[in-house]
Amino acid sequence: MDNASSVRLQGSSPLTVTGSRSKSGFWLVVLGAALWGVDPLFRIILLDYITSAQLVLLEHAIIGVIAAPILWKNRRELLGLKWKQAGALLFISWGGSAIATILFTKALEGGNFNAVLLLQKMQPLFAIILARLLLKESLPKHFSSLLTVAIIGTYFLTFGFTIPFGHWNEFIQVGSLLSLGAAAFWGGSTVMGRLMVGQMKYETVTALRFILALPLLLAITWNEGVAWSFPSSTSGIAGFSLNLLGQALLPGLLSLLVYYKGLTTTKASVATLAELSFPMVGVLVNWLAFQEKITVAQAVGFLLIWTVLFVISRQSKPATVQS
């Protein structure tokens, strides 16, 4: 996730501007990530009527209509776009928005809600590994040991303190694997996003993220061949529409606009910790709305992953990007 750790404006004290904007950026990241946590509140209800692919298509279509004027206004930014940057945008859109969201939605259908949410904290580790492979960035110190601890934490989130190797179908938890797949795609999108630093405004990247995903989502939904099903009563249609709009606008468009804006003045290491608001809010929503409490094993697994991310964040060097 690309960011700026220092900003200097003419006629202003660099320390004052850096400090105030950095703090406001941090809380914008917290707010944006927290909005993702209310996602299951809308998504689970909508899945009673339509499939994961259909839901993601509708969500992107609504956001695409809203984002189209933004893209048109900033259309000059598309001029001179190189193939490498176009590929990065396509991965962000197809992988990080379309495929990852479908995987996450399917995970909520077939997995433990809390495990699905908490496993998203593996995303920064995927980003670090992919950055090493694709961008040749150096790995944090003692990364092998830290990765081992994170894998143990992931195991606790998925299986608890049990040892399920006796039964293969118990070992392969579909919901958890889908959730990890979503985290991997989102982590990859972070790496691809680094290629876009200084190339486009955050509003343009957000608009392209949703609009470019529409052709792929149409193809996936068409290939799925499942009939569309909507509520039959007027009240049911009204409730469905409100939930769909809430899903698209809150944990969808608004969260990403706020999040990307916050990243412009927030270091990646700090943003990683700020993103903890996502699973924390998500677990709270699951507890209040769906009566699903976190287990001791999940709490231990979450703490292990959080510790790894904290250690890595302490090693991170600030990056400076002009704003």
Distance CA 170, CA 254 (A): 38
Our CA angle for 137, 141, 143, nearest 5°, is 80
How many alpha carbons fall within 13 Å on the CB side of residue 158? 25
pLDDT at 163: 65
pLDDT at 160: 76
Nearest residue to 52 (alpha-carbon basis) of 179, 232, 235: 179
pLDDT at 270: 60
- Comparing 213 with 172, which gets the higher pLDDT? 213
Distance CA 183, CA 298 (A): 17
Distance CA 129, CA 74 (A): 33
Contact 210, 64 (CB under 8 A): yes
User: Mean pLDDT, to the nearest integer, of 292-306?
Assistant: 83
pLDDT at 24: 77
Distance CA 115, CA 120 (A): 9
Q: Looking at the domain assignment, is residue 114 inside a domain?
A: yes
Contact 124, 140 (CB under 8 A): no
Helix (H, G, I), strand (E, B) or coil at 265: coil
Distance CA 181, CA 194 (A): 20
Q: Looking at the domain assignment, is residue 133 inside a domain?
A: yes
Question: For the chain, how many structural domains are there in total?
Answer: 1
pLDDT digits 0-9 by tens, 134-184: 767 677 788 788 878 877 887 787 677 876 554 445 445 677 788 888 888
Min mean pLDDT across 21-25, 95-99, 104-108 is at 21-25
Distance CA 321, CA 4 (A): 5
Distance CA 49, CA 54 (A): 10
pLDDT band, residue 244 (cuts 50/70/90): very high
Distance CA 274, CA 27 (A): 8
pLDDT at 323: 39
Distances (CA, A) of 251 to 82, 132, 174, 201: 31, 30, 24, 20
Tokens of 310: 């904290």
Q: Looking at the domain assignment, is residue 139 inside a domain?
A: yes
Contact 262, 25 (CB under 8 A): yes
Contact 106, 182 (CB under 8 A): no
Tokens of 43: 């998504």
End-to-end CA distance of the chain: 15
pLDDT at 37: 82
Q: Looking at the domain assignment, is residue 8 inside a domain?
A: no
pTM: predicted TM-score of the whole model, two decimal places: 0.72
User: Mean pLDDT, to the nearest integer, of 126-138?
Assistant: 74
- Comparing 228 with 9, which gets the higher pLDDT? 228
Residue 217 has pLDDT above 90, yes or no: yes
Q: Looking at the domain assignment, is residue 292 inside a domain?
A: yes
Range of the domain at 102: 15-315
pLDDT band, residue 211 (cuts 50/70/90): very high
Q: Looking at the domain assignment, is residue 101 inside a domain?
A: yes
Distances (CA, A) of 279 to 22, 93, 193: 23, 23, 22
Kindly report the average pLDDT of the chain as a whole number: 78
Q: Looking at the domain assignment, is residue 184 inside a domain?
A: yes
Distances (CA, A) of 162 to 118, 150, 158, 269, 293: 18, 17, 10, 33, 18
pLDDT at 8: 32
Contact 214, 61 (CB under 8 A): yes
How many alpha carbons fall within 13 Å on the CB side of residue 60? 28
pLDDT band, residue 71 (cuts 50/70/90): very high
Residue 278 has pLDDT above 80, yes or no: no
Tokens of 28: 């914008």
Contact 33, 250 (CB under 8 A): no
- DSSP category for residue 7: -
pLDDT at 56: 93
Q: Looking at the domain assignment, is residue 294 inside a domain?
A: yes
